[in-house]
Each structure stands twice: as C-alpha cells, then as structure tokens.
Amino acid sequence: MNGALAEPEHGMTAGHDVGRGLEAVFKPRSIALIGASDDPTKIGGRPLQFLQRYGYAGAVYPVNRKGGTVQSLPAYASVAELPETPDLAVVTAPPESVPEAIRACAARGVRAAVVISSGFSEMGAAGQALQQQIGDIARASGMRIVGPNCLGAIGVHEKSIATFSVALEAGFPAAGAVGIVSQSGNLGSYAMRVAAERGAGISRLLTTGNECDVDIADAIAALALDDVSSVILCCMETCRDGPRLVRALALAREAGKPVVVLKVGVSDAGSAAAASHTGALAGSDAVFDVVLRNGGAIRVPSIEQLIEVGLAISVVGVPRAPRGGRVAVLTASGGFGVLLADAASAQGLTLAPLQEATRARILAAVPFASPANPVDMTAQVSSRPELLAEVLDAVAADDSCDALLLQSANAFNMPRLRDVFLAALRRLREAHPARTLLVCSRAPREVAQQLHALGFPTVEGLDAACATLAALVQLGRQAGARPAAAPAPAAAAPLDARAFADEASAKAVLAAAGLPVLREATAATRAAALAAAQDIGFPVVLKIVSPDIAHKTEVGGVVVGVRTPAQLEAEYDALLARVTQNAPQARITGVLVAQMAPQGTELILGTKKDPVFGPMVMVGLGGIYAEVFQDVALQTAPVSEAQAEAMLRSLKTFPLLDGARGRAKADVAAAARAVASLSRFAAAHAHSVAEIDINPLVVLAQGQGAFALDALLVPSPRSQETEHHV
C-alpha cells in the first residue's frame, strides 16, 4: 500500500502498535464485571450468566456497590477490593460512573476494558465529554478500552464472553477460524450467528462501538496477529484513522489472512458541489474501494455475501483459491446452466471452452450429455455414481478452467442421490486435491458440513454462488501479489499563495514539477495579447484569467483557433464582453494567450485530498464529458509510472488511446509520466493543496507527448486561513 496519508485523529499513530493489547480481551485469565446485576435478563447480568452457562474457566469477579452475591458469586464493592488484578473488565455501569470505574481499573493495572454502557458521544456534548475522559485514561495508562456503547467481544475458543448479545441465548458458536470485527454491534452479532448456523467455526467477535480507543483497524490487526483466526470478516461504517487501517490490512496480508469487508453507508461527497471536476469524480466511497483493494481486502455489497464469502474462504483456504476466472459449470439441467452462465458473466467470470479430449471423455461416459461449457450432464448421472465421477474428473483434469461450479437443485436433499454425489466428490478430492469446486445447492446442514470437510464450499442461490466464486478468484489473484509501492516524496515547502490564483499560476507551478505544458503568456491589454501571440506563433487560444472562474467554458471564456492578428483583436474584445456579462462579479486579471495544441485524445487528470486517506490521483476520459461518462481510475498518491499506466489501461475508454477503429495509437507512456508526476506533486504538497484539476490533458500520437491545457489548484483550508510564502 502506497501513498501519503492524512494525519491520524484522536492521538492515534500509524505505528506498529496497531492491534496491541487485545489478547487480554480474547484470552483473559480473569474477568471483572463492573455494574454486574443479579438479574440475568438485564444488560448488566447477561455477561455473567453467559460466562457461567458456557463454562469460562477463569475467575469471574462481579463488582457491585452493594456487595453480597451476584448470580451466586461473591460480589465486591470496588475494583480495589478484588483478590487479584483481572486481565479484563466488562463495564455496564451508568455512563456518569464509567470514568471513575476506568480510573480504578487503570490504577489496579487492568490490561483491558470493554465498556458496554451507552450514553456517550452518541448523546451529544455531555456524553462526548465523558467519552473523552475514558479515552484520555486509556492513552495515559496504556490500558486498551473497547467501546463505549458497544456490544462487546467474545473469545470463542476460551469462552471469554464480554457481551450481552441475545445471539448467545440460543447457543454458543462452535470454535473455528472465522473472526468477526464490526463497528456495529448488531451487524457483528448477526454475522456471527448466521455464519455459525451455516457451519462456520468462529474464533473471535469484536465490536468497537464509539471507538474512544480501540478502533476497527485495531480489531483487524488483532485478528491478523491472533493464533486461532485465519479469516477476518469486517463490518465497517467509517474509518477514523487512515494510516492505521492501511497498516492493519498490511498485517493481515503479511499473515496470509484474508479480510472480507462490508462497508456500509455510501458518502454523498462525490455528488456535492466541488471546485474541480476531480472533486466531483473522486467520491469517498471510491477511495475506500482503492484502499481496500490495495490492502488485499475483498469488498462485498451485503451482509449475506460477507457471510458466504467468509465461509467459502474458510472452507477452501488461500492456497487452493483459483488464480484465474475461467469457470467450468456442471449441472443436470440445461436451463440452470444458462442461468449460471449469465450469473457468472455478470460477475466477470468466463466460461472457457473445454478441450476436445475433455468433451470426448464426457460423451464417452454420458452419450446424451452436452459437453460444452456449461456442461449438461443430464439426469443419467443420478443413477450411476461412476458416470458422475468420470465427468467431474474429466473437467477437473482440464487446465483450460481455473475452477468448477457444480449445481444441483435436488440431489443433496434425496438420500440416494446425495450418496451418489458425495461419493463422486470424494473421488474428485482424492484425485485433484488442489482443485477449487463450489457447490451451488440448498444442501441440508449435515450434508453441507460433509462437503465443507472435503474443501467444497456450498452456496444456495445462483447469483450468490457466482459472486462467491468471483471473490475466491479475487483472493487467488491477490495471493502473493504485492503491488510495487512508489516511494513517498518528502514534504515540500508550502506553495506561495499566488500559485492558487488562476490557471496561469497553477500551470507554472505544475510545469516546474514535471507536468508538460505548451507555451503561453498572460496579457492585460489587447496590445500585449497581440504581442504574445506573435511571439508564440499563430494559431493561438485565448482564455479568461480570473481567480473567481473555475470553469471558463461555462461563461464563454475560451476562444480556440485564433489565426490572425485581426481575428485576435476582435476575439479579445468579444471575450471580455461575454465574461463581463455572464460573470459580472468575477475579478478579471487578464487574458491567457496559449499555443494551440494539436489534435489528440483528451483526458482529465487530477488529485483530491481525502480527509482520511490523504491525496488520491485520478485519471479518466476528459473534456466536457468527464462527469457524464464517469470513466475514471483512482489510486492513492504517489504512483509509479507503471502504476499510472495500469490506471490508464483499466479505463473502459482505453481503446481510444490504443488505436481503436484505425485511430493512431496515443502516447500512453507520456500520459503515464504526467499522472505519476502529478501524484508526486500532490503527495509532497498534501498539507497545502486540497485539489488539482487538469482538464484536459491532451495526449498526442505515440512518441509526440502529452500536454496539460488547463489547470486549477485548490488550497487546503489551512492554506486559506494563512497565506504561505516560500
């Protein structure tokens, strides 16, 4: 993961300590319950009830001002009176009592606390002040605090329960390797319950709530470092600290633990009015996409898919994940085959033709089969398991496909057919231990568990099955692939305030940073404009220069193709008249006379400083249609020239640069150099530049370069408050 990132909030840093200290939450040797209730139906009573019901082996100490006993255990009036220092404190006391309880825990040396109590920042200024107090105690003492206003945490293997979740009332999840972290308590507990019902073994649940100390990055990092978690499911509403999240994702990737993320809430920042085209195109949700992808995470659109993908990864494992998206579909129904072909295509998967030898083996086993892909095995395979095994083996042996998808509407629900299919799949696993096969079927839980034990994940719906398989393909492609990071440049001195004044000033600054521009000059009079044009050479372009006009074409402030002195004089006067009429309040500082660019392909190029993740660089189809087509590639800044070229090649409109329909190939290398140069500039000036807009960047024919024809620099709020001079 590369890029200059925003300064962390609330005292956090992007250091190596992300995720530290949370073993005390998952593996405590003893637990204190502050605010414990004798009533097991109350929030203060449920954690104690669960600890006793499910057999937590450590010591449990109820803390209640009244003393006595709580749910048959001796209670203590304060943390100071406990017979030993507990590793973990679970706090359910009233909000106004929580700071005092946390101070007592810190004084006693408690390693971590889970604050379930609500009534903090979610309740306004008074609650925020209480939350600030407990966050300050955490930072001063080194004690880790989860919450407040959270559902709590569970260490499933240790039966460490610091939650009041009703999900535990019906039973305790089986121990396994799927860890779940969530800012939302209900989303996290729901994911745990449904995943467990689907047969997943759970390792940890951690809900972070208001995040006065432990945040979602801590949660991911803790599971990346955890010895019993191998898959991390994450429900994320926001990110308060970009560098910490980047570091947490890197830790998970280094540990070989896939992170599947459900990011809820799509910001409307992308549709808000912005000074530049870049600001309108680079919305914060797109930034999350980039950050998660760079970090090796798999993003999913729904809670259902989060669970399905997490379960499938836990069943398949990273080493067996397919490295490509060529899929062979096998079914006993031609109709289901067509539906699956459509669903697979919608997920970016391809149904590659099978080899001739494979088709011959299928027909030799089942003469009435359709050996194309999808493979229609017909109902004959239901009566003779050796035929099904032969067809499966033939397709699995074909290296023209990367994964298999086996669909059956009824077989796994009928004892005789179920045994036929299970026998064939056992033979397949023995013969092809590394092959990925996903079963699309509504299989009973006990049958699904047998399939999972063989390494075959099960998904009921057709669309869901193809989406899950596409996620496994993404995982396989990312495995071992580490993107080369561009070195982050040193922070540059703040720009002179005049750099933000107008197009000419912006282009001068960018040209010094390596952005290619054409010859131009600013004229304050008609005579000066004529002299500039004669020096540059006709034809020229005239543009209004004003600090108050961001989009010149919208006020008639651009004239192209000025070829003679007489035409220049006439167009100069007409230009000023139009702009004065269309933007009467705008300050006009002159007219820019610029060399007219040759014909080429227009791109939009720009950067925007995300408030969490720092500068982002964007490139896409340019000119007046930039916001219409929304065909852009986004990346964290800085990027290398190779990364910049990859961004260009990812565009749907890249064929326009690559010689589509007889067009001359464009100078992609020059465009990539411009993207990389701009990204370095944005990263170096992250503290003073909020946005940069180059529209268009005209890309000429191969070997002839690329030139920025217009530019806009937008200062950061800090720069606007205080003028900086180099």
244: enclosing H helix or E strand: helix 242-254
Mean pLDDT of the residues in the chain: 91
* Residue 275 predicted with pLDDT over 50: no
pLDDT band, residue 333 (cuts 50/70/90): confident
Is the Cα dihedral 57, 58, 62, 67 positive or negative?
positive
| 679 has a pLDDT exceeding 50 | yes
Residue 563: count other Cβ atoms within 10 Å of its Cβ.
12
Token pair recorded at residue 444: 């009973």
Does residue 626 carry a pLDDT above 90?
A: no
At residue 717, the pLDDT reads 83
Instruction: For residue 338, count other CB atoms closer than 10 A to its CB.
Output: 14
Which pLDDT belongs to residue 14?
Answer: 40
Residue 488 pLDDT: 83
Cβ 548 vs Cβ 583: under 8 Å: yes
Mean pLDDT of 34-45: 96
pLDDT of res. 718: 66
- Could you report the per-residue pLDDT of 421-456, keeping only the tens digit for each? 999 999 999 999 999 999 999 999 999 999 999 999
Q: Euclidean distance between the first and final Cα of the chain, in Å? A: 31
Question: Which pLDDT band, with edges at 50, 70 and 90, does 103 fall under?
Answer: very high
- Structure tokens given for 27: 């593996």
Please state the rounded mean pLDDT for residues 200-214: 97
Contact of 377 with 388, CB cutoff 8 Å: yes
**CA dist list (Å): 246 to 99, 141, 285:** 31, 26, 16
Model pLDDT, residue 10: 38
In the chain, the domains with their CATH numbers are 23-257 (3.40.50.720), 318-478 (3.40.50.261), 519-595 (3.30.1490.20), 601-721 (3.30.470.20)
The pLDDT value recorded for residue 266 is 63
Hey, which bits of 585-710 come out as E strands?
A: 590-595, 601-610, 614-621, 632-636, 689-699, 706-708
| pLDDT reading at 368 higher than 90 | no
Average the pLDDT over 528-537 and give the result: 97
Model pLDDT for residues 290-330, shown as the tens digit of each residue: 999 999 999 999 999 999 999 999 999 999 999 999 999 99
Check residues 482 and 380 and name the one with the higher pLDDT: 380
- Reported as a single tens digit per residue, the pLDDT across 497-514 is 889 988 999 999 999 999
Asked if the model's pLDDT at residue 726 lies above 80, the reply is no
Residues in the chain: 726
Burial class of residue 87, CB neighbours in 10 A (0-12, 13-18, 19+): buried
From the list 595, 530, 535, 525, the residue with the least C-alpha distance to 568 is: 530
In this structure, the number of other CB atoms found within 10 A of the CB of residue 513 comes to 14
The pLDDT assigned to 659 comes to: 86
Percentage of the chain surpassing pLDDT 90? 80
At 175-184, the pLDDT tens digits run 999 999 999 9
Evaluate if residue 646 carries a pLDDT over 80.
yes
pLDDT score recorded for residue 409: 87
- In which band, very low, low, confident or very high, does the pLDDT at 551 lie, cut at 50, 70 and 90? confident
Residue with the larger pLDDT of the pair 16 and 263: 263
pLDDT of 334: 85
Average pLDDT value for residue range 407-413 = 91
Residue that the structure tokens 């600054």 belong to: 509
For the cut 60, the answer to whether the pLDDT of residue 336 exceeds it is yes
The string of DSSP letters for 458-520 reads EESSHHHHHHHHHHHHHHHHHTT--PPPPPPPPPPPPPPGGGGSSHHHHHHHHHHTT--B--E
Mean per-residue pLDDT, 676-680: 97
Of the pLDDT bands very low, low, confident and very high (cuts 50, 70, 90), residue 8 is: very low
Average pLDDT on 654-660 reads: 89
Residues 182 and 180: their CA atoms lie apart, in Å, by 7
Distant-in-sequence, close-in-space partners of 607: CB < 8 Å, separation ≥ 6? 278, 615, 616, 617, 618, 637, 678, 679, 681, 682, 689, 691, 692
